[in-house]
Amino acid sequence: ENDDDDDDDDEVEVDLFFNEDLNHSDKMDCGSPSFISFYGRHLSLSESLRTWRLYAIMIIFCIVAGSGILVINNIQAVAGAVNKQPSAFFVTIISLANAGGRVLIGLVADACSDTLSRFQLLALIALFMGVTQCLLSFGNAFFLYPCLLMTGAMFGATFSNTAAITADVFGSKYVGSNYGFIDLAPAIGSYIFSAGLVALFYPKMATTQDGDISGDDLQHTNPDGGGGGGGGGGDDKDHFCQGVHC
């Protein structure tokens, strides 16, 4: 009998790895008193690592959070590109929206749980973040403040929603270790988007568009440079470029 029990355990593990759809329903009834997780039991981190859903969640989390961090880390450059002076107010906008998004997404998820799943909310968050990035790429000052609000809200909402999804899919018993691993995604996204893409494209775009930069767009940053203005010429003053073509 013990051998039979061991065989059953092995079958459960194989089913988990090769065919996850054997022991769950298509719709998670999270409000049911008997609901445990998408898989019908609590999955440890070692088991969760053998499911494709963990990596799917991480990829979405990586892209959305990485896009948000890209804007947050480069907010002053983004503002300067639409001829806005550097200001701490931009950081305040994103911070408040970030906090609001974390709370709001929870309220929306609970209020719309019968018609809108957390997975669908995650897809909507990713969609809104993508639209926001596209609007920012136009370099129009009109879109700056709405896009900062949306970036902060979607960035915060992603964290709250992903934590809840982790508990729903893999169970609450091991949610600490499961979400701890999934929470590596923002760090990866930050490196890919905020560090990698910016370091890759910014110098190339600056070199490509250098001929389009006029003297009025170059301002001295050297205290000994004698103030703003000046197209550069042969002096050794430090400059920075400000304007949409920068």
Span 106-163, pLDDT tens digits = 898 888 878 888 888 999 999 999 999 899 888 788 888 999 999 999 999 999 999 9
Q: Where are the beta strands (DSSP E) in the chain?
A: 218-220, 239-241
- Helix (H) or strand (E) segment spanning residue 166: helix 144-170
pLDDT tens digits for range 35-47: 677 777 888 999 9
Both tokens of residue 133?
A: 């990035």
Put simply, whether the predicted model's pTM sits higher than 0.95 gets the answer no
C-alpha neighbours within 13 Å on the C-beta side of residue 137: 7
pLDDT tens digits for range 198-224: 666 666 555 544 444 444 444 444 445
* Number of residues that make up the chain: 246
- On whether the CB atoms of residues 61 and 158 are closer than 8 A, the answer is yes
Q: If DSSP codes are grouped into helix, strand and coil, which group holds residue 60?
A: helix
End-to-end CA distance of the chain: 74
